[in-house]
Amino acid sequence: MVGQHMAESHDEHDRAGTSKGAGPSHQQNVEQNGGAHANETQHNFEPGVKVICITSFDGQAHPAEVLEKKLDRGETFYYVHYLDCDKRLDEWVLADKLTPWSLTPRQSLARCDTLPTGDLLSPTAIDANLKVTRRFKRKFEEIHHVIADDHGGDHGHEKEHHAPKVKNIQVIEFGKFDMDTWYYSPYPEPYASQSKLYVCEYTLKYFRKKKTLLRHLAKLDIRHPPGDEIYRSPPPPPGQPNYVGGPVASPPISVFEVDGKKAKVYCQNLCLLSKLFLDHKTLYYDVDPFLFYVLCERDSSGYHMVGYFSKEKNCSEEYNLACILTLPCYQRKGYGKFLIAFAYELSKREGRIGTPERPLSDLGQLSFRSYWSKVLLEQLRNVKGDVSIKEISDATFIRGQDIVDTLQGLGLIKYWKGTHLIHADPKVVQEHYAKFASQRMIDVDSTALHWQPLPTPTARKRP
């Protein structure tokens, strides 16, 4: 569920216009089929039909399914879901972007990044001229955002039971930003049928018109989330007003703990907003059992929400995080990893090993894997001699299986005679660490965290 979507208003959401050469020309159809009527029939696609579509984000042919069609100003538009890509890339296209599935010839593979995806439903598809290796499959998944589950699959069960929905709201105005949305969100009518919504960044109330939002802001007195401010980033050192590093952030940041039971409307609005950017999110209205930790940038005009994570108040599992999001307009600033680090800091206060609730989004998986890698490499750099998985877990509060998976990806662990052995060559560890050292990350200052865990009998106290 983690959504951490790491780019501002992506170019992948810019919609392209018509394309010449997306199918047979009108003249060819007249010659082959006896008139213009054959051309119209060829491009009349009904919802549920599989097609090949030229995308706006890479200009390549991808297998797709038509979900809906509409008539706008005399032209027919089709809403397509790309079968080999994340649903955030779904879009409206004109008919000349589409060709029938059966008319696309198969081609041999030259390079992975120029893959002719005509008849490929998945990276495991094989024909007479195409040999798919594990290396190619991994590269294919990276390029086309295919999400793999813990067992190496692609969430086929989710695709079967959760059919893609047509994205209803296209754009939201949030503070000083206009953001293209990524997914469908179940806003109530008449708001759900608006192509653009105006959302207050302080209360998260939503409006159909800008003037209504402005009237709301004019009467607004409280400009922060309705909860307790439990963390405030420390100021820069004396005499260095422009210093940024460690826990010092510019602009300064704060974290608020919001109780879903006490601030129900705010938390419900937060869930509706986050669903625009998280595909797997299912919680919208039953927010009472959850706490929401809202991260804000702080300035003279108020506290501007940049992201959040939620967690259950009393969770019998090891989950220290249920859902996480950094808004697209605030991504690539280190806020995602800060939220992850903050969740583990709360786990330390609780005395519990933590792990995020599954499934993770593709970008959430990358964020957690990056965070785990950096933390584990820091531990291995400071360890002399052998160290066990349990010892690392006790020091970092990261679940043992997450440690094993991460170290396997780094090539720093081996499985021998029924047990995992950490093989941490100092030179190799340093080489890996150098790749993560330059990543932007805001540290959590534990002395600035004013928070105590809820009393629970399941908490495992540590000395």
State the Cα–Cα distance between residues 275 and 444, nearest whole angstrom. 27
Instruction: Give the torsion through C-alpha atoms of 234, 176, 279, 100, to 10 deg.
Output: -150
Q: Please answer whether residues 295 and 335 qualify as being in contact, where contact means their C-beta atoms are separated by less than 8 angstroms.
A: yes
Active site residue 357: yes
End-to-end CA distance of the chain: 33
DSSP secondary structure of 89-104: G-EEEEGGGEEEGGGS
Calpha distance 101→125 (Å, rounded): 15
Give the whole-angstrom CA distance, residue 126 versus residue 137.
Answer: 11
The answer to whether 411 touches 428, Cβ cutoff 8 Å, is yes
Least Cα distance to 375 among 391, 345, 398, 353 occurs for 398
Q: Which of 46, 357, 378, 431 is catalytic?
A: 357
Total residue length of the chain: 463
Q: Could you tell me the two tokens for 63?
A: 């297998």
Q: Are 275 and 185 in contact (CB under 8 A)?
A: yes
**Gap between the Cα atoms of 295 and 129, Å rounded:** 51
> Hey, which residues are catalytic here?
357
